[in-house]
Structures are given as C-alpha cells and as structure tokens.
Structure 1
Amino acid sequence: METNTDDGIPVTILSGSLGAGKTTLLNHLLSNAGDRTLAVLVNDMGEVNVDAELVAEGSELELDDGVTELSNGCICCELQDDLETAVVRLARDRSFDHLVVESSGISEPAPVARLFTTESRVAARYDVDTLVTVLDTPAFLETFAGEDQPERRGTAEDRPLSDLLVEQVEVSNVVLLNKADLCSEAELADAEELVGALQPDAETIRTEFSAVDPDRLLGAALFDAGRVNDLPGWKRALESADGDDGHADHHDHDGRAESRTDDHHGHHHPDEVYGVSSFVYRSRRPFHPERFAAFLRDLPRSIVRAKGTAWLADNEMRVSVAQAGPSIRATAQGPWIASLPEVERDMYRSNRPNLEWHDEHGDRRTELVFIGTDYDEGALRAALEDALVTDEEWDSDLDGPFPAEQGAETVVREP
C-alpha cells in the first residue's frame, strides 16, 4: 500500500468527449494497476461498462450502495451521490492508493479539479495528481477543420463539441491523441500543433485503444494549481502582451492607436515547435455591435481559438467572447465598474488597486486574444478597427445580437 495519508490520496481526473476512449482507458488502467489499488468514480455505470473480466463475480456489476470490489482489488463506484459526498465517503470507508475520476463527456474537468483544491472537506483528504484529456483525434481534427457536421452542432442548452473539446484541452496536463492508428503522420502532427496552441504545457501522447503506461497518468504529479505556466494558450498570450516582451495596440479616447516602439504589437509565438502564433488586440473605443458581430461571423477558420472581453457601444455589460473552431458564443459577464453608481464604483476600485483605469472610460476596454495558423494579422487588425464606432456613432442607439443582461448568452456563429 502506497497511500500517504499525510499528503492526501492522489487523484487523476479523466475527461474527453463521448466515444473518445475514456472507458477503454479506464479498463486499461485497471488491468495494469500493478501493485496499486485504484478507486474509480464514474458518472453513469450503465454507460461506462467496465470490463467484466475485472469484476469479482459475474459479467454484470452488482453494486452495493454504488460500490463494487473488482478482482484485482480495485474499487469501482457509481456516482449516485454528489461528487463531494462520494469522495469523502470513499476516503473514510475504503483503503486505496489512487483515485481516478471520470468526468462526463459533456463537461469540463476544471470544476472537478476545483472540488479537490478548494473544498476543505475534500482537499484535506486528496491531492490532484494529473488532469488527462482523451481525444478522438480524427474527430478533433474534423471539428477544427470547419467541415459542416450537423451532428456535432450544439443548441442553446447543449454546448457545441468544439467548445467542450477546447476547455477540456486547455486545463489538461496530459492529452492522449487516441485512435492514432486512424490518422496519418501529418494529421497527428496537426493535432499536436492544435493541442500545443491551446495548452502549451500539456504532454501529448499518441495512443491506440487508449494504451498508455499507467505511470504517465498515475503518480505523475503534473498538476500544480499555482503554476503560472499551466495557463492555457490564450491567457499566456495576454500575459506576454502585458509584459516587456509583448506589445499590444492601445487606443486613446479618440480611438487613435498609441504608437509603440516594437513592431510585434502583441504578437506572440508560444513555441517554435508549434506552427501557431497569437496576437492580442486592445482598444479603448467600443465596437459597433453589428459590425463586430459580422467580423466574428467572418473570422477565418485558421483561427482555432479566440477569447477575451469586448466593449460594445450602447451596452453597459462586459461581454466575453469565446470562439473555439467554428463555434462563437458571447456572454454578458456583468456591468462595467465605470457604469455603476459612484459609491459602488468607488468601493470596487478601492478593492482593486491594480485595476487599469482610464480617466474618461474607466475600466471599459476591449481585450481579445487570437490563436491560429496561417492567418493575416494585419487584415484582422484592420477589420477590428473598422468595426469600432465612429465619432458620429459613439452616442447613437445601436442594436446588435449581443446579450445585455448579466448571465445571458448569445450564439454568434453556429458550428
């Protein structure tokens, strides 16, 4: 038994779309656990279908309060209760070396990871070890190739596949490029480039039938919530542009670009290995909502990820924009601090001493990151400038497709 109760039980969190190979990976880990005793939490036992050969008796999992003993000493649990209750109960009632949590194929692993790092009842017993995303590599490439695939489209209630894939990859420590046998060498290289753009620190492993050395996923100790370089590509691009070696366009209150001594203007190359680059666009002049929506709809498919906050004329909401391949969504995050009543505004500002504040516009600003390959940065910047309001339009009543109530979301471009 290798469990160190002082340090907490290590946890590996698996994510990936339906059909990517998570179940196959679970069975592989259970078959090759070696001296480890694993506990596996799954969302729906009916869908997971853990291999009958690993079950102590019979070909069906007969659950006692959602828990069954497997023939190799491991434990498999149906997630009948909420996750927090389940993992606390497991740590109290069972003895095991490592916990593997399979998050749903239609959710991101980040909320699961936060449970183990911010909830004291759970964090006192567990330590997140590694976040793993399993990709159906051919489908991953097709999703970002912009091909028309109606079966992959989402609805207002069901987020599109591209959104989920991106957020699963962006928080990963390890990405399995599964079904590698169905891809050419060039396609696998493209997939590695895409993963590298979305999460530069992720380790990519090419797999067939999710076969991977368990030591690369169990006890790898790759997760560190405090590491700056665990940031996804778009956040790192923002930080680089804010630093000494990156320079982004800023605008004064008349919308004119302030000159900078560096010609890169926020252009950032995550890594020479990857054939991708990124740039940051900033402005202190609002967008015309219709022209900005048209810009987003026409965004070239060579942009695989765009994310940030937009200032829209005639809208007092901070609108976040999130593009992942063919899908683009906008969400109203909340009001600009500058739009609040004076007392409330001053209170927010006093609690945020590092808040960048413009004398006239306050915190209102646009800050967007674009990541992709073979795009024309100059043309995109020019199109963004053309989407800004003119002096004549600044105080006009302007309508557009963007949400104006906190928490509301709009689909700007369908996958």
Structure 2
Amino acid sequence: MSRPELLVLTGLTAPGVEDVVTRLRTLDPDVAVLHHDLRDVGAGLVRRRLRTRDADVTTTVELAHGCVSCTLREDLLPQLRALAGPGGPARIVLHLDPVLEPENLCWSLLHVLVDGRPVVDEVELLGVVAVVDAGTWFADATGDATLPERGCPEPGRAGDDADERTVAQVAVGQAEFADLLVVTGTADAWERARLDAVLARLAPAAPRVRAGALDERVFAPGAARRGRPDDVHAPLLAGTPPLDGDCGVRLVVFSARRPFHPERLHDALDVLLDGVVRARGRIWLATRPEAVLWLESAGGGLRVGHAGDWLDGAGDAAWEAASPQRQAIAALGWHPRFGDRAQDLVVLSHAADPDEIDAVLREALLTDLELADPDAWGALPDPFGWWHTDPCAPAADAVAGPEHHSEEEH
C-alpha cells in the first residue's frame, strides 16, 4: 500500500495562503488540509482545523504547556500520523501557522518519534510550497520588526514575549526552504522584477509560479530539497544562483583563510544588516579555533551559532563521520597551517555596496602581526556568547544552548 503524499504549505500573508489552499482543493477535492492556529498558544489553546471533501471541523486543543514544541509533539505530529493511517486521504496538505518555520517543522517530521517512529515513515514528504505576496514580501524580508511586534504568538513559553525572531527571518526562511514558490498579490513592474531577482538568488532551485497558474504539478514541486535541511558544510551556492547583478540585487561571496578578530567582527556585523536581504555561511574566530560557527542574517536580524567542529585536529573518527561531500571540500581546500578552517560567506544585497561589505569584513580579520602570534589569540576580547542578544547581555547572563541552536541575535 502506498503512503499518502504530504505537502507542507507556508507563507506570511493569510489571504494569499488561503487562496492557494482553495486552488489545491479545487485541483484535488479529496485532499485533506490540516492547520493549527497558534494565536492563543501562550494561553495553552490551539485551534486545529481539518478540511476534507466532506467536512470542515475546527477543534480547540488545550495544552498543559502553551508552546509550539508542545503543539508539535502532543497534537500536530500525532494528527498527521492518524491521517496517514488506513482509510485516510491519499494527499495531505499541512498548512503551517507563520510562526512555524518550515525547516524546523520538516526536521521534526524526519526525526521526532510518534509511537516509536518518525512521521516520514508513514507519509511521502513531497516538499515545501511557500506563498510569497508580491506587494509585501520584500518589505517583510528587509525589515527589522519582530514577531511579537506583529502580534504573533511566542513559540517557547506561555505568557512570555521572548521570541525575538524578526519577520524578515521568517519570510526569508520560508522562501529559502521552498521547493516551489507561489507568487500572489500585485506589484508594479519594478517591484516584481526586483522580487524575481531576489528569489532567483535566494532559492535558485525552486520554480516560481503565479497562484492563478497552479496546476497538478504543484503536487510534484521538484527536487530542490523535499524537506531535507541543508548541511552547514555544504556548498553555499547550491542551485547555481546567478552571480551577476539585476535590479540592484546581487550575491557577494566572501572567502578568507585567516581567523576573525572577535571584537572587530562583532563591530562589523552591521554591514550585513543594512541593504542586505540575506547573509549566511561558516566563520571561525581566533578565540575558538576548534569551532565552526554558522552566521545567518535576514533583514535586520542576525544570529551566530555553533555548528560543530572543524575536521583539522578532530581525529580520524570525525573525518570518517563527515559526509563524502564535506571530506571532498576539506581535502581540496586544505591549508598547510589552518587545515579546513575558512571564512565562507554569501551575502545577498539589494542596496548595499558589495565592495564595502568585502572591505569591512576583511578589516575584521587578524592582521599579519596578530596572525604571527597564535599564543595571544586566546586572550583577545570575545563578545560572542553561546547565547547572546543585542543589546549585549552581561557574560554572566549568557545561556548555553544545544549545539545547533546556540546563537547570537542582533
């Protein structure tokens, strides 16, 4: 018996997403659409809506702890598992609340166990469809408003407005992780051309279609990623995005084979927040020679997190555990002094000066004089905590998080 197909649908603009839901149900009246409304999750209440050919049922779910992780674990994933059982629909659309980022949700589908098995054992994950509003997405993706400022629920603890993710981080993350981009809404010719230029470089492997042109191919969104999160050690230009400029939009590739001075880098980060849609990549600090740090920005929000260790000096077991792709990249670029350590950043700019971005980042690297005295690197001032917010919290207040979730936010 074949598994039911699962399509994940995401987007910030509710009318646009609902329009896509309507078109999907027209294309296949037997599709089931599951949605969890998280507006009141902080109060421990979630409204679950299930639409099928014969019914449209909304159920209020009370949670012991009002948070998104509890919603996933206690209701959303079990509901998907139940829908995928015998007698269920052949196709399921999981319509995400905007605070549920598709990459994190897909990670849960792949790894969180429900009755001893991940949900992907019961469904065929087709991929992610992201809805982009042509009139509002660019402003959302380049702004600095936080989710609480937009009235979005806090995903961690009930009654706490600690979710300081920006709307830009969510908007960019939704589009970047998509297998198919559906463009809704209206915009003038210039806005549409600029949007196309950004999306072509942000998600180069994802086809872009207008909502009115959706057809049965939406249920075969392509092989961009099919819900599989990126490896932080993978090539940063996967999907061969265009490297030339268009409508002022272009990609800036920054590479270097010496460490960053932590304090100078910290001071330089603003260059990634002004006139920039997205920055992402691997960095290393002189004070932390073993650690691979992952830097990621969107609009006015930036975070830096621990993403494991460099292979150099980590031992044979680490090398053998690395993917063949990472082994190949490390071997081809091996430095006689620094091994596989390298600064590799890709910056998607729309109004920033690419030469200024490159110059500011290069000024944050160790000078030749500093590079000559590695014994002094450990004493350099380092404002990066494993969990760090801007304005900077005192070091004693830093909270250590798990490896891939420790982050600095600006």
Structures share fold, TM-score greater than 0.5 = yes
Residues in 1 aligned to 2:204 and 2:362: alpha-carbon distance in whole angstroms? 29
Query: Aligned residue for 1:73?
Result: 54
Change (3 A) 1:295 1:213: same
**Gaps spanning 5+ residues in structure 2: where?**
41-46, 62-73, 153-160, 387-399
Alignment partner, residue 120 of structure 2: 123
Residue 29 of structure 1 corresponds to: 24
Q: How much has 1:238 moved relative to structure 2?
A: 3.8
- Give the direction of change, closer, same or farther, for the CA distance of 1:205–1:74 in structure 2 (3 Å limit): farther
Q: Which residue of 2 aligns with 1:381?
A: 358
The answer to whether the 8 Å contact 1:131/1:223 transfers is no
Partner of 1:44: 37
Contact residue 173 and residue 203 of structure 1 kept, 8 A: yes
In the aligned structure 1, how far is the partner of 2:126 from the partner of 2:320? 38
Secondary structure of 1:314 counterpart: coil
Letter in 2 for 1:134: V
Question: What is the CA–CA distance in structure 1 between the aligned matches of 2:118 and 2:196, rounded to whole Å?
Answer: 38
Amino acid at match of 1:168: Q
- 1:184 maps to 188
Match of 2:134 in 1: 137
Offset, 1:168 = 0.9
Q: Distance in 1 between matches of 2:39 and 2:282?
A: 41
Q: How many residues align?
A: 349
Q: CA deviation at 1:147?
A: 7.4
Q: Which residue of the partner structure matches residue 172 of structure 1?
A: 178
Partner deviation per Cα, 1:327-361 (whole Å, 9 max, x = no partner): 22111234445466xxxx34323444543443332
**Equivalent residue in structure 1 for 2:304, among 320, 330, 338:** 330
> What is the deviation of 1:111?
3.8
Please give the alpha-carbon distance, in whole angstroms, between the structure 2 residues aligned to 1:79 and 1:111.
Answer: 24
Question: What TM-score do you get using the length of structure 1 for normalisation?
Answer: 0.69
Using the TM superposition, give the Cα deviation of residue 318 of structure 1 relative to its aligned residue in structure 2, in angstroms: 2.2
Larger CA Rg, structure 1 vs 2: 1
Q: Does 2:265 align with 1:312? A: no
Q: Alignment partner for residue 83 of structure 2, among 73, 84, 90?
A: 90
Asked if structure 2 preserves the Cα contact closer than 8 Å seen for 1:116 and 1:122, the reply is: yes
Query: d(CA) in 2 for partners of 1:370 and 1:301?
Result: 11
Separation (CA, whole Å) in 1 of partners of 2:406 and 2:310: 15
Q: How many Å separate the matches in 2 of 1:14 and 1:69? A: 14
Q: Normalising to structure 2: TM-score of the pair?
A: 0.70
CA distance in 2: counterparts of 1:363 and 1:79, whole angstroms: 52
CA RMSD for the aligned pairs?
3.9
- Pairing partner for 1:400 from 382, 391, 404: 382
Q: Could you list the per-position Cα deviations for residues 278-335 of structure 1 after superposition, in whole angstroms to 9, with x for gaps in the alignment?
A: 2322222111122212222133633321111111121343221101122221112344
Among all aligned residue pairs of Structure 1 and Structure 2, give the percentage whose two residues are the same amino acid: 24
- Measure, in 1, the Cα distance between the counterparts of 2:309 and 2:127: 36
Structure 1 gap ranges (5+) = 48-62, 242-267
The answer to whether the Cα contact below 8 Å between 1:67 and 1:77 also exists between their aligned partners in 2 is yes
Distance 1:326-1:121 versus aligned 2 partners, 3 A rule: closer
Trace 1:7-406 onto structure 2 (pairs within 5 A).
Answer: 8-17=3-12, 19=14, 21-30=16-25, 32-33=26-27, 36-44=29-37, 72-73=53-54, 81-114=74-107, 122-146=119-143, 151=149, 157-180=163-186, 183-207=187-211, 213-217=214-218, 219-223=219-223, 225=225, 237-238=236-237, 269-270=242-243, 276-299=249-272, 301-316=274-289, 317-338=291-312, 345-352=315-322, 353-354=327-328, 355-356=330-331, 357-373=334-350, 375-394=352-371, 395-396=376-377, 397-404=379-386, 406=403
CA shift for structure 1 position 25 = 3.2
- Cα drift, residue 15 of structure 1: 0.7
Q: Indicate how the Cα distance of structure 1 residues 270 and 131 shifts in structure 2: closer, same or farther if over 3 A, else same.
A: farther
Quick one: which amino acid aligns to residue 398 of structure 1? Answer: L
User: 1:349 is aligned with what amino acid?
Assistant: W
How far apart in 1 are the matches of 2:134 and 2:301?
Answer: 19
- How far the C-alpha of 1:269 sits from its partner, in A, is 2.7
Distance 2:305 2:151 in 1: 19
Deviations 1:374-394 (A, max 9, x none): 654333323222111124434
